[in-house]
Amino acid sequence: MSGRRLAVLPAVTPAPDLPGWDPRWSRLVDAVDHSGAVRTWHVLDTAPEGEAIGTLLCVHGNPTWSYLWRGLASAASAVQLGWRVVAVDQLEMGFSERTGAVRRLGERVQDLAGLVDALELSGPVVAVGQDWGGIVASGWAAAQLGRREGRHGGGSRIRLAGLVVANTAASWPADAGAPGVLSAVLAPGVRSLVTSRSDAFLRTTLALPRPALPGAVKAAYRSPYGSAGERAGIDAFVADVPVGSGHPSRAALDEVTQGVGRLAAAGVPALVAWGPRDPVFGEWFLRDWRARVPHADVHRFAHASHLVPEDPAFADVVLRWLDERVLHPTPAPEAAQGSPEAGSPRLWAALGERGGDPQVAGTPAVVEMPTGRGSGTTPKSAPRTTSWAELDRRTRELAAGFVLQGVQPGQRVSLLVPPGADLTAALYALLRIGAVAVVADAGLGVRGLSRAVRGAGVDWVVGVPKALLAARVLRWPGRRVSVGDLADVARAGAARLAAGFELPAEPDADAEAAVLFTSGSTGPAKGVVYTHGQLSQLARAMGSVIRIGPGQPLVSAFAPFALFGPALGATCVVPAMDVTKPATLSAAALADAVEAAGATSAFLSPAAVVNVLATAGDLTTSQRAALARVRTLLSAGAPVPTPLLQRVRELMPLADPRTPYGATEVLPATDVGLSDILDAGAGEGICVGRPVQGVTVAVAPLDADGRAGTDLVTTPGVVGEVVGGGEHVKERYDQLWATQAASVDVRPSPTLLGSVRAGRWHRTGDVGHLDERGRVWIEGRLAHVVTTADEVVTPVGVEQRAETVAGIARAALVGVGPRAARQLVVVAEPDAAVVPGVKRTTVADPVLSQAVREVTGRNLVAVLLVPALPTDVRHNSKIDRAKVSSWAERVLAGERAGALA
């Protein structure tokens, strides 16, 4: 739109009744622009008198205005002597003056500097920007850094204190087209049609947030853009996207990119707030920010799209980050001298030791059971067995081959390979060369798995053909290597090793080793970062609980744990099952796996335990004999009812079934066996035993509102959020700065502080208590605690007592109604043998309802029976209480709630 004049309109103030808008924020400010002309800006200013601890200089993008920052302004204003928020309407945009000029990127940076001078800002200033406003804000911040250092003379009253960017660019290749859907907008004849001649571009942008913006909020965003003349700035902004090397704003963008590098070199605190559902600023831009500003904190808002500041948590995250990184920065804790992590053997060390030992080199390291069982005269396929020597050799060959492929230390590699020798060798090979393994369970489903892989920012994807097809269809990042190609990778590596090639130096103990994703049963799956030292400690802790090691084979029906066996020198047996569906493991398949390697230990998910017991009638005499030799059976991931464990002992009389407690972030935390559970007896919740060696468990007490504080106690009987600390606690959450900060926000007593290295705590999100003997009892999830007008109720104890009533198979306690009048409800699956024929939602009969009320000791407003309670995707056993709660609320309000499960 070179040479084209835009509409000329004066600056005005917005209507005072816009939702979330305080009319006292509005100011009209005159300032000199890049051309020397005085222009009038509309500015949101929460503290025009300047009484604040610092200033947040917020710059909107296209096609919004300063209304974008109303949530941040409101949150900052709620704090006495907090941050002053100054959010500008860029010239030609919002309610600022329409000057008739076409403004380029470099000119907008200069215009902003002129406004800041007119505002006479001083003291700490944090630049905040979104969309193309993020580029303008970054450019201003870099220039301000130069002024502070005196490169442009005169110095400055301002101290650049930080940079916050949200879904914006640090750079863009000159030879690339327009990013994302902007390529369609910039098509010939389209741009002006959708940006100024109509409000299609504006309405499309406002349709992106999830949950959807209220109609009144959308109307507020549209209010300064009611005519084609008022929207001309939107058109000009799109036209100024620097596509191609010859674009008039290309040099200005390159200058911003160089400025971002200077900000990084100066160590300016930076927060990158990201919405992963953005159709313009996709994952490439986030990866670019992480590469250019390695010290930046990153927080991904799982459900956010382009307008990240519209996310309900955005303001809280930014203000917390400002407090912890700008106002009260603390140095990162240093590893303690003599830390056990530093000297721990790496996961691959056992492969070389056993592969090089003539006594055991030819013995099995990994045994994979065939999925076909054979029938009639057709014999069953033989298991696939990989010896220690073969596994060690394949690991070294793959390590060399991956280096030849171009895999570099620190690069992230997603492994989408079923458990077995291929996965084991590939994982250890990648760890050995310093790559970071990204492990996400296929049980997350396509959507959850895609979110995990894309969010982790992987550089490579190693997978089976089905996974690689999904990678192409879903446009996952990274180069792809098929499992079928691993043999070629290994052969190339073997040739290089034979020619004298040496593998890279082993990674340090504090180098990133893996990103392990949580189950997703309590929200979007989170990536959990572990270092090499922490992985070694985790393997040791798991080995002590599972009772495995050299000469103690393990049958693992849960993929992540199949990977730890070889690291501990134990043969790992993969049973015949669909690893994405734990309930597909049959008793016969488990017995065959045990018999194949003479296994002494087995690790099953609770759902697998249920199906093994359900199919035990199909066992042959020899299969029963094989199970009878198992000495350790473990089940974890969700609570396992005591009667179920007692039935397991009937199949495996030598085993004391164990249910270690923990999470992806700290696993294991405690250990308990059936005998311990029976000794503990009935209590409020589930007894999960005592902390394992190297772990300290405490609780953060709940207040009257059901919220957990930050002080940690070990006082028996005190109910609170369970917090674990120890050597194998996670390093951090990946690209979830605020989630990580909240997970370690504790104040341990001096005694507890001395027992755990600084910073190595994790708030589990579970609630429970310690008893007089130091045992941990879990009473439910913090999110599922029911707070009424009179009390705080944890769910598990009530549910356990309800399940003792004849006719109740499984129960979920939830609350319905507003806090002041909240009532307790039990929603239950009936025992079909006692209460047959429940095919839809029904209210329990008076006798059953009264029995549940009496045994639970609660004045329940209702007892509802449903055919099935909903469970999580991965474990198939955790009740989705959030879903049950919202459903029960609708049912008791007389709405058509539909089926629950």
Any idea what DSSP says for residue 711?
A: B
- List pLDDT tens digits, range 564-580: 888 889 999 999 998 77
In this predicted structure, the answer to whether residue 407 has a pLDDT above a threshold of 90 is yes
How far is it, in rounded angstroms, from Cα 634 to Cα 632?
A: 6
Transcribe 36-75 into DSSP letters: S-EEEEEEEES-TT--SSEEEEEE--TT--GGGGHHHHHH
- pLDDT confidence of 151, banded at 50, 70, 90? very low
Q: What is the pLDDT of residue 561?
A: 66
**The pLDDT value given to residue 50:** 79
Q: What is the pLDDT of residue 453?
A: 87
Mean pLDDT of 612-638: 92
Question: CATH 3.40.50.1820 occupies which residues in the chain?
Answer: 32-327
How much is the average pLDDT of 595-619? 91
**What CA–CA distance (Å, rounded) separates 196 from 229?**
7
In this prediction, residue 547 carries a pLDDT of 78
pLDDT in tens, 177-190: 899 999 999 988 99
3-state secondary structure of 128: strand
Structure tokens at 754: 């001395």
pLDDT tens digits for range 98-113:
999 999 999 999 999 9
How sure is the predictor about 377, in pLDDT bands with cuts at 50, 70 and 90?
very low
Q: What pLDDT is stored for residue 644 in this prediction? A: 87
d(CA 723, CA 671): 15
Q: Which pLDDT score is estimated for 874?
A: 47
pLDDT band at 148 (very low <50, low <70, confident <90, very high): low
Per DSSP bridges, beta strands 686-691 and 666-671 are: antiparallel
Instruction: Return the pLDDT at 833.
Output: 80
Token pair, residue 795, equals 């769910």
| pLDDT at residue 837, rounded to an integer | 77
- Sheet with 808-816, edge to edge strand ranges: 808-816, 823-830, 862-865, 842-843
Here the tokens at position 663 are 């999470």
Share of the chain above pLDDT 90, in %: 71
Look at 344 and 163; give whichever has higher pLDDT.
163
Reported as a single tens digit per residue, the pLDDT across 454-478 is: 889 999 999 989 888 888 888 888 8
Fold category of 668-783 in CATH:
Luciferase; domain 3 (2.30.38)
Contact (CB, 8 A) for 709 and 701: yes
CATH 3.30.300.30 location in the chain: 785-892
- Pairing, β 601-604 against β 632-635: parallel
**Quick one: average pLDDT of 13-22?**
97
Q: Where in the chain is the domain with CATH 2.30.38.10?
A: 668-783
* pLDDT tens-digit map of 508-527: 999 999 999 987 766 788 99
Predicted local confidence at residue 153, as pLDDT: 42
pLDDT for 412: 96
Per-residue pLDDT reduced to its tens digit, 526-568: 999 999 999 998 888 888 887 787 888 999 887 666 678 888 8
Read off the pLDDT of residues 430-461 as tens digits, 9 standing for 90 and up: 999 999 999 887 777 788 888 888 889 999 99
- Reply yes or no on whether the pLDDT at 758 is more than 60: no
pLDDT tens, residue by residue, 226-252: 999 999 999 999 999 999 999 999 999
Nearest to 375 by CA among 582, 588, 595, 612: 588
- CATH code at 32-327: 3.40.50.1820
The pLDDT value given to residue 444 = 77
pLDDT, position 522: 67
Instruction: Give me the pLDDT at residue 100, please.
Output: 93
Count the neighbouring beta carbons within 10 Å of the beta carbon of residue 889. 16
pLDDT score, position 2: 45
State the pLDDT at residue 33: 97
CATH code 3.40.50.12780 region(s) in the chain = 346-368+385-534
Between CA 137 and CA 128 the distance in angstroms is 6
What would the pLDDT profile of 188-213 be if each residue is shown by its tens digit? 899 999 999 999 999 999 999 988 99
Q: How confident is the model at residue 380 (pLDDT cuts 50, 70, 90)?
A: low
Residues 6+ apart with CB under 8 A from 474: 446, 450, 454
In which band, very low, low, confident or very high, does the pLDDT at 899 lie, cut at 50, 70 and 90?
confident
CATH code at 785-892: 3.30.300.30
User: In terms of CATH architecture, what is 346-368+385-534?
Assistant: 3-Layer(aba) Sandwich (3.40)
Each residue of 114-125: pLDDT tens digit?
A: 999 999 999 999
CA distance 657 to 487: 40
DSSP state of 643: H
